C-alpha cells in the first residue's frame, strides 16, 4: 500500500509543478506539455537567437552624424535608413525616427548582403551602398578617416558605423546599444546552466564582447554565427510547419523563447529532485517499517502511522516543488 501511495504522491507532485509553471507562463503565450517535454528541452547545449531580441530598440540611439560632404545629406539619411530598416535589427527604430517614421519615402534596396563581421552591402538606384565598419570600407577600396578621428567618439560604450556610396565616404554615425532588461535574467540563467548563446546578426558592432559586457556574462558563453549559419537559421526560423508536436509552445519572441527554455530547466530540476527525494523517503519508510517489524514490543505500524508518514512525504514534496524558480 505504501509504495502505491508514494507513487501517487510523486505523480501529483509532478502534475502540480507543471500546472503551476503553466499558470505563470500561459499569459505570455508559453506552454510546456509535461515532464518529458521539460526533460527534452532542459538538456540543450545552446540556444540560437536573433541579435535584435537582445536589445531594446527604443533605447538604442543615434548620437550624431558626421557628414563628409561627398553625398547629399538627404540621401545619406534615406540610404542609411533604407538599408538598416530592410535588414532589421536593434538600430531599425533609431533610423526610423531619423526619417520621421515615414517609411514609404525610402528607396528600394536590392541585393542586400551581409559580409561577416564587416557590415552590409547593397544597391540603391544602381549605386553600391556600404554600411558597416571601417574594415568593410577598406575592403571595398573606400578611403577612410584616420583611426584617431574615429576614436574621439568611442566613449560611454558608443560605437561607430560608416556609410559609403559609390566608393565615396558619405557619413559616420555615432550610435549606442541598450540591452533589453526583460531578457537579461533568463540569459544569466542559461549561462549558469552552461547553455551557450549562438547569435545571428548583420551588425558589425554586435560582437561577443559587446553582448558579454552588456549582460555581464562570462567570456565564451556567446558565439556570433557566421554569415552562412545565420542565413540557415533565418531560413528555418521563417519556415512554416503545418504540423508539429506541441511539446513546448511559445509566442515566437526572444523573451517567450528564453522563458520556455528556462522553465524547462527549472521543471526538470524540480522533477529530478522530487524523484530523488521520493527514493529517500521510500527507503526511510521501509527502514522504519523493518525496525517496527523486528521489535516485538512495537508491533506492525498501524494505519494512522502510515497515513501520517504519507502526509509528511506529501508536505516535503510540496516544499521541494518551490525550491527552484527560473521562469
The predicted-structure confidence for 5-22, as pLDDT tens digits, reads as follows 444 455 665 666 777 788
Longest CA–CA separation in the chain, Å = 102
Give the per-residue pLDDT at 303. Answer: 59
Tally of residues, the chain: 327
How far apart, in Å, are the Cα atoms of 48 and each of 45, 154, 188, 261? 10, 30, 15, 12
Given pLDDT bands bounded at 50, 70 and 90, which one contains residue 154?
confident
Identify which has the larger pLDDT, 112 or 11.
112
Identify which has the larger pLDDT, 297 or 286.
286
Q: Cβ atoms within 10 A of the Cβ of 182, count?
A: 14
Give the per-residue pLDDT at 2. Answer: 47
Render pLDDT for 247-292 as a digit per residue (tens, 0 to 9).
888 888 899 889 988 888 888 777 776 666 666 666 766 666 666 6
CA nearest to 53, candidates 241, 242, 259, 216: 259
The phi, psi pair for 104, rounded to 5°, reads: -70, -5
Instruction: List all residues 6 or more positions away from 292 whose beta carbon is below 8 Å from its beta carbon.
Output: 298, 299, 300, 301
CA nearest to 261, candidates 90, 48, 17: 48
- Find the mean pLDDT for residues 46-58: 93
Give the per-residue pLDDT at 291. Answer: 65
Residue 308 has pLDDT above 80, yes or no: no
- What span, in angstroms and rounded, lies between the C-alpha atoms of 136 and 120? 8
Residue 305 has pLDDT above 70, yes or no: no
Give the per-residue pLDDT at 306. Answer: 59
Cell of 37: 517535454
Which residue in this structure is represented by grid cell 551602398?
129
Q: 3-state class of 53 per DSSP?
A: helix
Give the per-residue pLDDT at 276. Answer: 67
Strands of 35-143 (E only): list them: 46-50, 61-67, 110-115, 119-124, 127-132
Q: Cβ atoms within 10 A of the Cβ of 285, count?
A: 20
- What span, in angstroms and rounded, lies between the C-alpha atoms of 151 and 241? 48
Give the per-residue pLDDT at 241. Answer: 78
Asked if 269 contacts 276 with a C-beta cutoff of 8 angstroms, the reply is no
- What span, in angstroms and rounded, lies between the C-alpha atoms of 159 and 209? 13
Asked if 116 contacts 230 with a C-beta cutoff of 8 angstroms, the reply is no
Render pLDDT for 170-225 as a digit per residue (tens, 0 to 9).
999 999 999 999 999 999 999 998 999 999 999 999 999 999 999 999 999 999 99
CA nearest to 226, candidates 117, 83, 90: 117
b vs e for 126-164, b when ≥16 Cβ sit within 10 Å of the residue's Cβ? Answer: eeebbbbbbebbeeeebebeeeeebeebeeeeebbbbbb
44-58, 108-122, 260-274: least confident range:
260-274
Could you give the angle at which helices 2-25 and 303-320 cross, rounded to 10 degrees?
30
User: Rounded mean pLDDT of the chain?
Assistant: 84
- What span, in angstroms and rounded, lies between the C-alpha atoms of 129 and 137? 10
Asked if 259 contacts 30 with a C-beta cutoff of 8 angstroms, the reply is yes
- What span, in angstroms and rounded, lies between the C-alpha atoms of 9 and 6? 5
Helix (H) or strand (E) holding 47: strand 46-50
Give the per-residue pLDDT at 108. Answer: 96
Amino acid at each position: 500500500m505504501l509504495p502505491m501511495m508514494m507513487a501517487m504522491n510523486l505523480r501529483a507532485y509532478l502534475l502540480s509543478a507543471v500546472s503551476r509553471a503553466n499558470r505563470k507562463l500561459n499569459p505570455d503565450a508559453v506552454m510546456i506539455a509535461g515532464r518529458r517535454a521539460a526533460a527534452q528541452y532542459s538538456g540543450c547545449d545552446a540556444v540560437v537567437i536573433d541579435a535584435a531580441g537582445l536589445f531594446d530598440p527604443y533605447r538604442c540611439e543615434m548620437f550624431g552624424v558626421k557628414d563628409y560632404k561627398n553625398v547629399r545629406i538627404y540621401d545619406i539619411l534615406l540610404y542609411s535608413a533604407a538599408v538598416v530598416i530592410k535588414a532589421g535589427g536593434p538600430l531599425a527604430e533609431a533610423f526610423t525616427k531619423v526619417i520621421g517614421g515615414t517609411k514609404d519615402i525610402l528607396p528600394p534596396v536590392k541585393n542586400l548582403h551581409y559580409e561577416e563581421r564587416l557590415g552590409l552591402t547593397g544597391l540603391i538606384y544602381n549605386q553600391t551602398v556600404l554600411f558597416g565598419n571601417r574594415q568593410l570600407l577598406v575592403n571595398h577600396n573606400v578611403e577612410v578617416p584616420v583611426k584617431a578621428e574615429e576614436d574621439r567618439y568611442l566613449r560611454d560604450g558608443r560605437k561607430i558605423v560608416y556609410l559609403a556610396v559609390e566608393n565615396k565616404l558619405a557619413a559616420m554615425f555615432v550610435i549606442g546599444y541598450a540591452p533589453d532588461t526583460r531578457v537579461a535574467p533568463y540569459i544569466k540563467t542559461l549561462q549558469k546552466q552552461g547553455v551557450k548563446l549562438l547569435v545571428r546578426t548583420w551588425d558589425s558592432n554586435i560582437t561577443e564582447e559587446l553582448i558579454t559586457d552588456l549582460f555581464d556574462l562570462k567570456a565564451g558563453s556567446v558565439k556570433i554565427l557566421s554569415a552562412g549559419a545565420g542565413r540557415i537559421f533565418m531560413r528555418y526560423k521563417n519556415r512554416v510547419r503545418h504540423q508539429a508536436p506541441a511539446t513546448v509552445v511559445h509566442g515566437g519572441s526572444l523573451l517567450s523563447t528564453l522563458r520556455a527554455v528556462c522553465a524547462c530547466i527549472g521543471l526538470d530540476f524540480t522533477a529530478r529532485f522530487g524523484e530523488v527525494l521520493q527514493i529517500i523517503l521510500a527507503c526511510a519508510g521501509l527502514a522504519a517499517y523493518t525496525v517496527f517489524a523486528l521489535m516485538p514490543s512495537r508491533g506492525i505500524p498501524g494505519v494512522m502511522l502510515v497515513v501520517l508518514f504519507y502526509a509528511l512525504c506529501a508536505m516535503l514534496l510540496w516544499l521541494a516543488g518551490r525550491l527552484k524558480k527560473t521562469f
